[in-house]
Amino acid sequence: MKPIKIREAKKKDLNTLASIEAEAFSNPIYDEFRLNKKEIQAELKDKDIKTLVVKFGNTVAGYVMVDIAKEDPSAANIDSLAIDSKFTGKGLDVMLLTAAAEVAVKKGFDKMTIQEPESATDTLKLLRREGYRKTDEISGFYNAPAEQANGLELTKVLVTKKEAAGKTNTRKVNAI
C-alpha cells in the first residue's frame, strides 16, 4: 500500500488543487462557489485559511480548506473539501476531516461547521457518520433549480485533547 500523508498545502500544489476543485465541483449548482486558480492561490496566502492536502504516495489526492478567521469565536468552518476521483473510496476524506478538526482544536475552536447542498446525499451521509449534525437550513443557498438550491449547515462538536484523555467529559460528540 502506498503511504498516505497529510501536510499543509504549498505553492507548488496550486495546479493540482485547481484541477481537483474543478472536477469535484463541476456540477452547475456550485458555479458561484467553485474556486478558480487565482482564488485558490489567494486562499493559500490567506493567514485565516489553513489548507491541508492529503498525499497518496507522491500524488496530491485531495484537500481541505479550513477558515479559522474566528467570525464565530467557537466554530471553524470547512470552506472546501475535495478528493480527486481517482482516489475516492480510500478514506482520504475522513482523514482530511480529522486533520481539519485537529487544526480547529489547536486554534481554540470547539466546533467545526460546513455547508452542503441537500442534494449531496453521499457527502451528507459521510458527514453524519463523522459526527456532524444539521444546525441550519439555508434556503436558496445554491444557484440551481428550486429542488436543488437549498443547503444545510452541519456542525460537529470537537473534543479537546484534555477531554479525550478523560480529564473532562462535558461534550457529547467525539471529533478526533
Instruction: State the pLDDT at residue 80.
Output: 92
pLDDT at residue 2 is higher than 90: no
pLDDT band of residue 159 (cuts 50, 70, 90) is confident
Contacts for 55 with CB less than 8 Å, ≥ 6 apart: 3, 4, 5, 6, 7, 61
Does the pLDDT at position 168 exceed 70? Answer: no
60, burial (CB in 10 Å: exposed 0-12, middle 13-18, buried 19+):
buried
CATH code (residue 29): 3.40.630.30
Asked whether residue 101 is assigned to any structural domain, the reply reads yes
Calpha distance 82→25 (Å, rounded): 8
d(CA 6, CA 53): 6
* Closest CA relative to residue 54, chosen from 86, 23, 76: 86
Nearest-CA neighbor of 75 among 113, 101, 106, 48?
113
pLDDT digits (tens, 9 = 90+) for 31-86: 677 888 999 999 999 999 999 999 999 999 999 999 998 778 889 999 999 999 99
Residue 26: per-residue pLDDT: 81
Range of the domain at 91: 4-164
* 175 in a structural domain: no
Which three three-digit cell numbers place residue 102?
Answer: 485537529
The percent helix, strand, coil of the chain (3-state, each to 5) is 35, 30, 35
Tell me if 173 is assigned to some domain: no
State how many domains the chain has: 1
The answer to the question of residue 176 being in a domain is: no
Q: In what order do the strands lie in the sheet with 59-72?
A: 4-8, 49-56, 59-72, 75-83, 111-117, 151-157, 133-138
> pLDDT above 70 covers what percent of the chain?
84
Q: Please check whether residue 56 lies inside any domain of the structure.
A: yes
DSSP state string for 59-87: EEEEEEEEEEEEEETTEEEEEEEEE-GGG
pLDDT band at residue 107 under the 50/70/90 scheme: very high
Residue 157 has a pLDDT of 95
pTM (predicted TM-score): 0.84
The pLDDT of residue 169 is above 70: no
**Residue 171 located in a structural domain:** no
Distance of CA 50 to the CA centre of its chain: 10
Q: List the single range of 49-58, 94-103, 122-131, 133-142 with lowest mean pLDDT.
A: 133-142
Assigned domain for 172 exists: no
Please indicate, yes or no, if residue 169 is contained in any of the structural domains: no
- The residue ranking higher by pLDDT, 159 or 57, is 57
